[in-house]
Amino acid sequence: MGGDHGPHVTVSAALKALRRHPDLHLVLVGPQQEITPSLDSLPPALRARASVLHTDDVISNHDRPDRILRSSRNSSMFIAIDQVKQGQADACVSAGNTGALLMAGRHLLKTIPGIDKPAIMAMIPVTRAGGYSYLLDVGANVRNSARELYQFACMGAVLASSLSGRKPARVALLNIGEESIKGTPVIQEAAGLLADNPDFEYLGYIEGNQLFSGHADVIVCDGFTGNITIKTSAGAVKALQALMRRSIARRWYYKTFSWILKPLLRDLRREIDPARYNGATLVGLQGIIVKSHGNANEQGFLKAIEHALRQINDNVPALIAGKMV
């Protein structure tokens, strides 16, 4: 029940998910007094598929992540992940503190055997119509070894195939150039490991200006690089929207023909709407955790729930474990 908007958004998205997916059952963890009134307004058949675990304890975005292990085991986040550990839930979806979510996930669910560190895998838009690419790691780690980058690629290929249906997934390493001599020793070593894997199509290096081309399904990098990349991309989208609004307001002929521009701008806003790409997976754990953006709206949080559903249906952790044997 975390995130910037609290239960207002998460509960509304949950109700929409229940209506859309008849086999879905939800456990909502948070303040019962804020959740139950919305559930009680549901038809009986829908209400029977939603339950509440009450807690008033919430980890805020300003709390140190280690607080969740020291003093917040009654927080909604900890309880939700523990439900997955105990087998009472198949996945956890949270808009809360990313560091705390990662720490609690590693503590409770542990990493898949053969995986040294989990990663955060995010969806990014591409210029190909209706397409997506996936970028990992976007912030679970600061530095990574070549072995860890190789593991990220293996995990990312499995998850991308589950979410997009493309098999085999096309995998690339983010680098400062496409030539084999470019990059750090870690990246070059990782490239050697990736070239020998038959489970996906390794494309080689990809540069930053190709991120949104759709050339690769999975783009692998260390968490420091990935976090800066994903946040820079989000900032660029906001800047583009602001520049467009300013240009239209400044020129009288744009205003005159605004009726022509409106459909174009509407389509563009839809293509770059953050809600379409919401839901980053903490991949590499022995359970499914999907992180929603803290500022996600109802549609965005619904997207995160549906990401989790697809991973449940394919049993992604088991698929990853099978590749790491």
Residues 258 and 289 in one domain: no
In a domain, 175, yes or no: yes
Mean pLDDT of 167-191: 93
Domain residue limits at 85: 1-115+284-325
In a domain, 300, yes or no: yes
Instruction: Return the percentage of the chain with pLDDT > 70, whole number.
Output: 89
Which of 215 and 241 is assigned the larger pLDDT? Answer: 215
Residues 229 and 295 in one domain: no
- Tens digit of each residue's pLDDT (9 = 90 or more) over 279-296: 899 999 999 999 998 788
**Mean pLDDT for the chain overall:** 87
Neighbours of 151 (CB within 10 A): 28
d(CA 6, CA 14): 13
Residues 271 and 133 in one domain: yes
Whether the CB-CB separation of 161 and 167 falls below 8 Å is answered with yes
Residue 315 in tokens: 């049993």
Residues 32 and 76 in one domain: yes
Residues 224 and 132 in one domain: yes
Which of 260 and 44 is assigned the larger pLDDT? Answer: 44
Whether the CB-CB separation of 117 and 111 falls below 8 Å is answered with yes
Residues 318 and 207 in one domain: no
User: DSSP secondary structure string, 136-154?
Assistant: E-SSS-S---HHHHHHHHH
Residues 180 and 253 in one domain: yes
The CATH number of whichever domain residue 130 belongs to comes to: 3.40.718.10
How many domains are contained in the chain?
Answer: 2
The reported pLDDT for the residue numbered 253 is: 60
Mean pLDDT of 174-194: 93
Instruction: Return the percentage of the chain with pLDDT > 90, whole number.
Output: 58
pLDDT for 3 beyond 60: no
Pairing mode of beta strands 119-125, 280-283: antiparallel
pLDDT for 316 beyond 80: yes
Residues 251 and 296 in one domain: no
The reported pLDDT for the residue numbered 238 is: 77
Confidence tier at 263 by pLDDT (50, 70, 90): low
d(CA 206, CA 209): 8
